[in-house]
Amino acid sequence: MNEKASTALLDETQSNIKKTYSAKVYSAQSASSALTPGSIRRREPRPQDVQIEILYCGVCHSDLHTVRNEWEVVMTTTYPCVPGHEIVGRVVKAGSAVRKFKEGDLAAVGCLVDSCRVCASCRAGEEQFCENGPTFTYNSEDKQLGGVTYGGYSDSVVVDEAFALKVSKDLDLAGTAPLLCAGITTYSPLRHWKVSKGQKVGIVGLGGLGHMGVKFANAFGAHVVLFTTSPKKTEDALRLGAHEVVISKNDAEMQKHAASFDFILDTVSAEHDLNAYIALLKRDGTMTLVGAPPTPTPVLGFGLLFKRRQLAGSLIGGIRETQEMLDFCAEHGITSDIELIRIEQINEAYARLLKSDVKYRFVIDMASLK
């Protein structure tokens, strides 16, 4: 691009930043208030932006935590808060410099809408670990309009095309929405630790994350064992792709699997004994946490030392890997098991989410907000 064209593009970008439009949303005004309808200002698309009409938005447990300011140790919620980072929709506007999308294309937005793009993590395609701080889809600093970013409980969103993802028309769009968080959160560690055919893999917990972990581990060719405290989940776990189900409260069942797992993915956010699962890893086995228990959990050093076991953590995935995951899902026909709701049901859904009363992810049909 020559200097004149570059200057013109910069002028167009700066001009567009000042322009906004009104978008319908559901938002929380405080940590104790219900979500209610309202409106916010979105920026008009810059040359590199796409504007997406939101068709479906998944409901993540982190939405509930953020709305209620329950993660104040790591971040404070700014109100009004518009949650939602599992977004699937259709492009209705594409800026003059956009090359990846055209109007009418299906598109998705996950947990990230920007990053510094220059640090080592960003250059490696791991924007979720941006060393200068990624811009999350909601409750993050909005570096364009000021204030904070607003998420997908909305009729539309504007995002740089570099952080928008392509969606196959062959996938069920409502079932695709949770892939943008629950999907990539489980796909990324299974890929990073090279889960493959012939390995024995454990999935701890059968919720929004766990049911996706079972599906992916099975698709990767592993022998999948689901750990649950509830015998009632056995039939569902087998339907989803588990080869065995272990009731984790039964010490004899647990002992049968001692020192036999290549990899265990722990999706549970409630307090539980990590040592019981570490003991199930074989030599050089790894257990990775994607759930975030609210309090520190004791870990016995000897459980790690004697078989060179590893305890690790993982956080979503970068844009490149998220696109890889969506393409993998299209190829293998994988989507999330969902319950479709109207936006007016969101407060009821939050109440049910607290009781784990969903199989396995709520998804909002955003047509109800139009």
- Greater confidence (294 vs 333) lies with 333
Q: What is the pLDDT of residue 101?
A: 97
Please check the confidence at residue 208 and state whether its pLDDT lies above 90: yes
In sequence order, what are the beta bridge partners of 204? 227, 266
The whole-angstrom separation of Cα 370 and Cα 367 is: 5
The whole-angstrom separation of Cα 59 and Cα 337 is: 13
Question: pTM here?
Answer: 0.92
**Common-topology check for domains 16-180+337-369 and 182-313:** no
For range 224-241, the mean pLDDT: 96
- Average confidence score pLDDT of the chain: 94
Q: What is the pLDDT of residue 293?
A: 80
The CA-based diameter of the chain, rounded to the nearest angstrom, is 73
Please check the confidence at residue 16 and state whether its pLDDT lies above 90: no
The CATH number given to 182-313 is: 3.40.50.720
For range 232-238, the mean pLDDT: 96
Counting other chains too, the contacts that 293-300 makes at CB distance below 8 Å and 24 or more residues apart are: 293/268, 293/269, 294/269, 295/271, 297/271, 297/272, 297/273, 299/274, 299/275, 300/275
Q: What is the pLDDT of residue 352?
A: 95
* Band of pLDDT at residue 4, cut at 50, 70 and 90: low
Distances (CA, A) of 334 to 63, 172, 179, 182, 360: 23, 9, 9, 12, 14
Phi-psi region for residue 324, left (φ > 0), alpha (ψ -120 to 50) or beta? alpha
The whole-angstrom separation of Cα 303 and Cα 288 is: 15
The whole-angstrom separation of Cα 100 and Cα 322 is: 16
* Contact residues for 247 (Cβ-Cβ < 8 A; gap 6+): 228, 229, 230, 231, 253
Query: Alpha-carbon torsion 323, 328, 330, 334, what sign?
Result: negative
Q: What are the DSSP calls for 280-336, one per residue?
A: TEEEEEEEEE-S--SS-----HHHHHTTT-EEEE-----HHHHHHHHHHHHHHT---
Please check the confidence at residue 9 and state whether its pLDDT lies above 70: no
Q: Report domain 16-180+337-369's class.
A: alpha beta
For range 320-339, the mean pLDDT: 98
Q: What is the pLDDT of residue 45?
A: 96
Are the CB atoms for 338 and 174 separated by under 8 Å?
Answer: yes
Where exactly are the structural domains of the chain?
16-180+337-369, 182-313
Residue type at 239 in one-letter notation: R
* Band of pLDDT at residue 74, cut at 50, 70 and 90: confident
Distances (CA, A) of 173 to 100, 105, 292, 365: 19, 13, 28, 10
For range 166-187, the mean pLDDT: 97
* Contact residues for 113 (Cβ-Cβ < 8 A; gap 6+): 135, 136, 137, 140, 149, 159, 160, 163
Q: What is the pLDDT of residue 370?
A: 77
> Residue 64 — φ and ψ, nearest 5°?
-65, -45
Q: What is the pLDDT of residue 140?
A: 96
Q: Is 81 helix (H, G, I), strand (E, B) or coil?
A: strand
Q: What is the pLDDT of residue 2?
A: 53
Q: What is the pLDDT of residue 75?
A: 81
Q: What is the pLDDT of residue 1?
A: 52
Q: Which of 255, 204, 269, 265 is nearest to 230 (CA)?
A: 204
What does the pLDDT look like over 250-286, one tens digit per residue? 999 999 999 999 999 999 988 999 999 999 999 999 9
> Residue 158 — φ and ψ, nearest 5°?
-120, 130
What does the pLDDT look like over 91-142, one tens digit per residue? 999 999 999 999 999 999 999 999 999 999 999 999 999 999 999 999 999 9
